[in-house]
A and B are shown apart, each in its own frame.
Chain A
Amino acid sequence: MNVFLVETDKTGLQKFYEEIIGKFETYAPVEKFGKYDYKRISKLDECDPDSPIETTMSIKPLFFPKTAKVMKFKEDNTGTTISETDEDSLTGKRIILGVKHCDARGLQVLDQVYNWDYIDTDYQKRRGNTVIISTRCDKAGTQCFCTSLDYDVEKSDAHDIRIVNGLDGKIYIQAVTQKGEGFVKENISQQSAVGSQQSLEEIKKHYKSFEASFRLKMDYKEVNEKLQKLFDSPEFETVSSNCIGCNTCAFICPTCHCFKITDEKIKDTGVRYKSYDSCNNGYFTLMAGGHNPRPVKYRRWRQRALHKFVYYKERFGMNLCVGCGHCAISCPVNISIFDVVNQVAKV
């Protein structure tokens, strides 16, 4: 891994951020109603790059928007004409600040499906244009379990640049990808010192203390292997008994990618939209003839759990769950995918 490292302090980091915000289209966690969501900012004090993981939404909507115009259509005597929408051209460079490591990993997982049989060009453009600057969490949240899964959080290259608030009071800006390295070299002021072997040690120390703060730990390999044989487990019914059947977990998830297509039409003209959908919806698998292969909620939950921990891994070699714990925090009744898979696999 090609690593370029810069050592600075709080004011240095602030300057770095301010410079970026002044130059580029920047997105960062902005608070509203006690929740942080990634929004366009023009000043540093509008946002909080160190926002707590529990109350921060995922960055997924910046790549796969909660709703996007697919096309416009118009009917007249000659037939239907279809045209491009006036969505932005997706050519401007974008920077996202304060991204969480798990969230950035979510994009790597999504890349697999977006590069599969159909190449989603809008997604690709957004990915290509964006520099992701993540801030490593100092402490794990109550529902976090990113270190227990199939990827290495410490060596993750899902983001371009990582910021580490070192235990020694210094702040380390580490470029992880080539794109990130170029970006740091271009935008960092001259006073910052280039990091040494010692700073790498400090980053490692910070990771060790972060790793020690996890409440939830599991043996991923074992769970994955067991779940492959547990399709008919009655335990799915028990773990999903108090699920109220909303779509919160899927909409908030950094890796869920199901969508639905709807038209909005006034007289002869209309717009076709692509918006989030979820396998937790009762009508998600409803067929035109009226048959529904997943009519009850435990079957929908089984699909959700196995898709995340078995099917996606089989097909793409990556786990669809990144361990951010957002679903458990946002769930009205705190159902955690961690508890679900572990409880099912325990039997």
Chain B
Amino acid sequence: MDYSKKIQEIASKLFADNKINYFVGYKQNSFDDSQVPFLITDPAEIPKLVFTDRSVFNLANYLKPDHTKRKRVGLVVKGCDSRALNLMLTESQVKRENIYIIGICCEGVLNEKGEKAQNCVECVMPDPVVYDEMIGSPTGKREYTINADIRELATKALEERADYFESIFENCIRCNACRHSCPLCYCAKCCIDQETSTLYHGANTSSGAMHALMTWSLHLAGRCVDCRNCEKACPSHLPLHLLHKQNESVIYENFQQHLAGMEKDDRGAFYKYSLSDPDDFIL
């Protein structure tokens, strides 16, 4: 999967037609074969754009006003990224006419060890669900499977699971990289940043980390698209996907097999109410 040339062509055309102010793609790191997000305002930088199976980030994150200042943006999205983008559009975070989407029919990206990433093995939608231009040939929706780590955790005793999660919260340094790397965490002022609130733990303790991460995962319940941008950002290498995948599997089983961001204007499981909704999973 190497679409660098095609992306460079499209980007030059977009700049030439004055359709965009920003282009968000990937750039090769100088020291190894990993890549980093790359924001361009100058067409002269276009030759540096790349896209391979090392293009792991979710670039929809850069549509937040901090980065591209609500201007016209061209960006590259994979299947999972496009689902996040779909939700951002539904939740009125970006205007459709302001973005030009290059959708990639993704064949899966590699993790740090050079193997196919777990979320790509379990991917339900490798093709872009929203795009202006598609690259590659679509392979269609795949069957949903419950995450392998969640299945493994479910076999363990309650105390063991509690200890495991406790070790996650203990090793959290509360840098909030998970929140900042998540395209769906776009609040201008996050509830866990309230300095004067007595509701939230402002201190950097392990109970504070638990509070912050649990709040975060519940805010993303039914919205997380499993792009794992948070996990790649975490400096302590915490397995943050466990928090989201558990929610996802519960929602999939109980809310008519709902998966986040698959359709346009789908507001997510928690925003739709019907009297027939089950409630037996609530403690």
Contacts and interface: CB of A to CB of B under 8 A. Distances in A.
A244 B67 CA distance: 8
A149 to B, nearest CB: 19
A334 B31 CA distance: 10
A260 interface: yes
Contacts of A67: 203-205, 208
Interface string A265-296: 10000000101101000110000000000001
Nearest to A241: B39
Interface in B213-260: 229, 232-233, 235-239
B73 to A, nearest CB: 13
A264 B173 contact: no
Contact of A35 (B29, B177, B237): B237
B232 A332 contact: yes
B36 A262 contact: no
A276 B204 contact: yes
A248 B175 contact: yes
A283 B193 contact: yes
A262 B177 contact: no
Interface in A98-152: 142-143
Contact of B204 (A32, A37, A275): A275
A265 B202 CA distance: 11
B31 A330 contact: no
Q: Which of B31, B174, B208, B235 has the most C-beta atoms of chain A within 10 angstroms of its own C-beta?
A: B235
A245 B167 CA distance: 26
B202 to A, nearest CB: 3
Given A283-B193, A332-B232, A334-B36, A244 B180 contact: yes
B28 to A, nearest CB: 11
A185 interface: no
A193 interface: no
Contacts of A250: 175
Nearest to B173: A251
B260 to A, nearest CB: 21
B39 A242 contact: yes
Contacts of A265: 198
B203 A264 contact: yes
B204 A33 contact: no
A244 B34 CA distance: 18
Interface string A310-347: 00000000000000000000101110000000000000
A247 B233 CA distance: 11
Interface string A228-250: 00000000000001101111101
Q: Which of A215, A282, A296 has the most C-beta atoms of chain B within 10 angstroms of its own C-beta?
A: A282
B78 interface: no
B139 interface: no
Contacts of A275: 174, 202-204
A256 to B, nearest CB: 11
A37 B195 CA distance: 28
A251 B179 CA distance: 15
A333 B66 contact: no
A169 interface: no
A260 B196 CA distance: 12
Contacts of B239: 33
A252 interface: yes
Contact of B175 (A37, A246, A262, A264): A246
A142 B181 contact: no
Given A247-B175, A332-B181, A66 B37 contact: no
Contacts of B15: none
Nearest to B172: A66
A159 interface: no
Interface in B22-51: 29, 31-32, 34, 36-39
A57 to B, nearest CB: 8
B98 interface: no
Contacts of B175: 246-248, 250-252, 278
A264 B171 contact: no
A323 to B, nearest CB: 15
Contacts of A308: none
B57 interface: yes
B201 interface: yes
B62 A142 contact: no
10 contacts: A34-B237, A66-B174, A67-B205, A142-B32, A143-B31, A246-B181, A263-B198, A264-B198, A273-B204, A332-B181
Given A242-B38, A260-B195, 4 more contacts: A37-B236, A66-B204, A252-B235, A334-B36
Q: Give 6 closest A-B pairs by Cβ, nearest first.
A: A262-B202, A332-B233, A273-B203, A275-B204, A330-B235, A246-B177
